[in-house]
A and B are shown apart, each in its own frame.
Chain A
Amino acid sequence: MNQVDGGLNAAEEQQLRAGIRREADSMQLSGDGWQRIVERTQGRKAVVRKRFLIPAAAALGVILMVVAAVTVNHRSDSGIPTAAPQQSATADYPIIWPQALVGGKTATVPATDDPAPTAKQFLDSLGVPTADLTFAVEQDSRGESRLVKVATRNGSVLGTVSLRWESGAGAWGVQAVQSPRTTVRNPEPNGAVNPPLSVAFRTDTDGTARVRLLDARSSKELTSWSEGIDPNEDWQANANFTRNADPFPGYLVLTVQDGGGQFTSVVVMPLTIGAT
């Protein structure tokens, strides 16, 4: 049998295509698909307008307060650095300093007081498109650490970047990125990881999760894993990578993209790779 690049030859492809189409064409569809879609979209609007709009407005404040309280407690239990209330949790983190980072040690122009460009550049380096994102400096702690809240144009928060001023380098360095939508239960932030890498997480959106482990010294990717995920379920990702004899700084990157490929969550945490 002739093969083309380890695949199928043209005749085989044609036969395969015909076999699949024959099976597919024999399927009987219900025929009311559009009607059901319209009912669901109309129903959703009608319900919102007629029944819930006013009560929801009144209840929204209460719900937000409860959710905020629960979220703060939950994340505090998870051991993950959170936003403003627990900014000191990241104070001892090493700075993640990819070489390509603007404002990093190789920069020739002194960094400004605004850490947002550094946060933006960091996300760019992770492959997250930043053109349609907004960057807002959330908190300034003693002039050394700052948080930059990264949100989409519709206000949905993608993540919060923790940065620290490095006086020796005269620039901002990134310490971590956390997301209000994703919780990583393992590994521990700033902990040690060895092959095989095991990551446990939960997020509130469906889509595709991508986990990457990078060498902080070179931004070289050591391993990566990608999977379609469902919301509010616990997920475990396992991936192998080559063990290095000497421990070195690295970071874990967990991104979630929705069905349309839009990023909904970004988590970055520093780790020590290869430590026992």
Chain B
Amino acid sequence: MSDDRNELAVLYERDYARLVRFAALMVGSVGDAEEIVQDAFVAAHRSLWRIRDQDKLGAYVMRSVINGCRGLIRRKRHGSHLVISDGAAGPDQSLSSVAVRHDMVAVLAKLPQRQREVMFLRYYLDQSEERIARAMGITRGAVKTHAARAAGNLRSLLEGEK
């Protein structure tokens, strides 16, 4: 393995699987998600000469993954692409009771794209507001707005399913 790939290999070990899962949550297909993340790593390899810092390299790949997801969703041009488990709704549809089931992701899939991005970045990848803002190309204030709206919409969706 050449030296210029070492940094990428470290990043791969650390982030690849969770980035694929994040992308799959966004686009609904593990196959598409793997392609998106691999594209991001190949793009990062092309940019290694100017991004030597591991943290910046990680941010670059994450942003590329988000852009890849957005591009795929736009090309498919329909609302939700998530392949989700088909669990039947139980009698108690409060947020807490639904969250422990797989179909919480199905509810999240109904959120607008930006709100979903914020939720998955925050609650799956555990990113800070600042990192989410950088990854999405928006301000921290906009992240807060998307998060608050997502929470509100999540409640409404769950109320609607009662």
- Chain A residues in the interface with B (C-beta under 8 A): 1, 3, 5-8, 11-13, 15-30, 33-34, 36-38, 40-41, 44, 154, 206-208, 210, 226, 228, 230, 257, 259-261
In the bound complex, do residue A24 and residue B124 qualify as a contact, i.e. CB atoms below 8 Å apart? Answer: yes
CA distance A23 to B61 in the complex (A): 23
For chain B, what secondary structure do more than half of its interface residues adopt (helix, strand, loop), or is it mixed?
helix
B20 to chain A, nearest CB (A): 6
- Chain B residues in the interface with A (C-beta under 8 A): 1, 5, 8-9, 12, 16-18, 20-22, 24-25, 30-31, 34, 37-38, 40-43, 45, 47, 50-51, 56, 59-61, 63-64, 66-67, 70-71, 74-75, 84-85, 94-96, 98-102, 104-105, 108, 119-120, 123-124, 134, 137-138, 147-148, 151-152, 154-155
In the bound complex, do residue B40 and residue A259 qualify as a contact, i.e. CB atoms below 8 Å apart? Answer: yes
Contact of B95 among A16, A37, A206 (CB under 8 A): A16
CA distance A38 to B155 in the complex (A): 44
In the bound complex, do residue A260 and residue B25 qualify as a contact, i.e. CB atoms below 8 Å apart? Answer: no
**Could you write out 13 A-B pairs with CB less than 8 Å apart?**
A8-B95, A16-B99, A16-B119, A17-B123, A19-B100, A20-B25, A24-B24, A29-B30, A38-B1, A41-B42, A259-B63, A260-B47, A260-B59
Given that A6-B152, A15-B96, A37-B12 are known contacts, is A20 also in contact with B137, CB under 8 Å in the complex? no
Q: Which of A22, A36, A41, A210 has the most CB of B within 10 A?
A: A41
Q: Which residues of chain A have C-beta atoms less than 8 A from B60's C-beta?
A: 259-261
B12 to chain A, nearest CB (A): 5
In the bound complex, do residue A228 and residue B152 qualify as a contact, i.e. CB atoms below 8 Å apart? Answer: no
A40 to chain B, nearest CB (A): 5
A47 to chain B, nearest CB (A): 13
In the bound complex, do residue B67 and residue A208 qualify as a contact, i.e. CB atoms below 8 Å apart? Answer: yes
- Output the nearest chain A residue to B47 by Cβ-Cβ distance: A260
12 A-B pairs besides A23-B85, A260-B56, A261-B59 with CB distance below 8 A are A7-B147, A12-B96, A19-B99, A20-B25, A20-B123, A24-B18, A29-B30, A29-B34, A33-B37, A37-B45, A41-B42, A257-B137
